Amino acid sequence: MSPQNRHFESLGVHAGREDLKTLGVHALPIDLSTTYPIQDLGVGTDSLDALVAGDREATNPVYARLYNPTVARFEQGLAALEGTDTAVAFSSGMAAVTAMVLARKGRGDHIVGVRPIYGTSDHLLSCDLLGLPMRWVKAEEVASAVNDKTALVIIETPANPTLDLVDIEMIVKAAGDVPVMVDSTFATPVLQNPIKLGARFVLHSATKFLGGHGDVIAGVIACSEDDAKALRQIRVATGALLHPLAAYLLHRGLPTLSLRVLKAQDNAEKLITWLKQQPQVKNVFYPGLNAGQQAIMKKQMRGGGAVLAFELVDGYQAAATVMNQVKMMTPAVSLGSVDTLIQHPAGLTHRVLEESTRQNTGIREGLMRISCGIEHVEDLIADLAQAFAAIKQRKVA
């Protein structure tokens, strides 16, 4: 069976490891070198030129800001899961977003995007720091917003933090010749492959599910080899290459990605059933839960994922009480870890946005986001139940 015909779980275990038998090792090698000996000056010069130009590799790595073999292995593994030629890994998700925008400069004079997306990404794109003004529109307005001066279209689906779904195929069609980048962090390649739906770039905050253990910060963009060259050029110039130890940990986590995501998704679905029965909860948000988005869910996802959001009846004070009272859940930003994280988007991850923007995109004061881990779901329910009881006690007092 060729690697291309393997099932996802098998790809996760073996991608980027094809040469280990030849090397005579079973565990992934790691290269922590910052510089590489130049055995021949001509080869070194040619290698430097190739890497600065954005080539995937060269005879001599020269310097670790230009290339690292451990990082390249992780890129190879992630690309196999997304079905792309390659991937380009960065020191953080925000470094990846920055490189994506800079790589599109000169290809247009503005970007079109659909909200909501991750708060810091929104802030970076909106403040015009990178020299490409942002036009925020609704999904159905993309076709009228793009023109021959549009450099890129950016969407996130499922969206952070409201779990809204955006029809990827519809956006690609509306964008025409303009490339579309999809932030697919919440879905992971386990549940969604935007490239197969026509997107040109797939962004992951690898810090989240790809890392999965709360000990790595990284970003990665899966794309074609032609598109990767420009991204690598930016990465070389800005020094945003992922650290090899982080790449090693990310690659080590790929074999269990499917297991972790599917277990956490099962917890999320059971937790939602319980939340919908609680009087303290006004609304629950999750892919496919809204009848109007079930068709999109069915078309482009293989499951709703591990992240959910809910809005509390009593707003900010109730949310603050829950954050303070949970005992097993970790009250913290980020997501995708093996432990369950709970946070308040309006006060934390999306705090950098204007209040009007938060309100217009459904990020209200009573909204909370949970990233389910792989604990037993009855323990998660019990933890929330005692936190919700504290809401009642506060109201009585």
CA torsion sign for 237, 240, 241, 245 is: positive
Of the residues 17, 208, 263, 358, only one is catalytic, namely 208
Ordered alpha helix ranges (H), the chain: 8-14, 20-23, 41-52, 69-82, 93-104, 119-126, 142-145, 168-175, 188-191, 225-238, 244-253, 257-275, 294-300, 315-325, 355-360, 377-396
Of the residues 65, 270, 392, 394, only one is catalytic, namely 65
**Catalytic annotation present for 183:** yes
Burial-class residue 374 by CB neighbours within 10 Å (0-12, 13-18, 19+).
buried
Of the residues 118, 167, 260, 383, only one is catalytic, namely 118
Of the residues 167, 183, 227, 383, only one is catalytic, namely 183
Using CA atoms of 335, 336, 340, 343 in order, give the dihedral in degrees to the nearest 10.
10
Q: Rounded distance, CA 298 to CA 301, Å?
A: 6
Contact 314, 339 (CB under 8 A): no
Contact 172, 198 (CB under 8 A): yes
State whether residue 371 is helix, strand or coil: strand
Burial-class residue 148 by CB neighbours within 10 Å (0-12, 13-18, 19+).
exposed
**Catalytic annotation present for 208:** yes
Provide the annotated active-site residues: 65, 118, 183, 208
